Amino acid sequence: MMDSANALEGWPIEEVIHRAPAKNDLYGGMYHLVKDCLRQFCDGLALRPTEFTLLHVDAAKLPETLAVVNKEQPGSFDRIEVSSVKL
């Protein structure tokens, strides 16, 4: 996502409007929507066993890497993309 991108574009606008504390407060509505999503995610983590494996590999090599790392469910993964900013 570019720095100039609008964060509202990634969320269903009906849900954002529904949660808006004031009539035209779209970013306030987005705040509440994201907060609710994160709360549901955290509650879900508490209810079932969860395992995180952090990998630093080229996406093209991910299937073969997962076949070695995750033998119980090969090919099963969720991806979180991060910025390429070097610190």
Check residue 79 and report its DSSP letter: -
Residue 84 pLDDT > 70, yes or no? Answer: no
Q: What is the pLDDT of residues 35-72, one digit of tens each?
A: 998 999 889 888 988 777 777 888 778 778 877 776 66
N- to C-terminal Cα distance for the chain? 18
Q: What is the pLDDT of residues 11-35, one digit of tens each?
A: 888 888 888 888 889 989 999 999 9
Residues 79, 54: Cα–Cα separation, whole Å: 10
Please report where in the chains the tokens 């790392």 appear, as a residue.
69
- Give the integer Cα–Cα distance in Å for 50 and 41: 11
- The pLDDT-based confidence of 75 (bands split at 50, 70, 90) is low
Model pTM score: 0.58
- Tokens 């995610």 belong to 41
Pull the structure tokens for residue 38.
Answer: 């994160």
Distance of CA 68 to the CA centre of its chain: 25
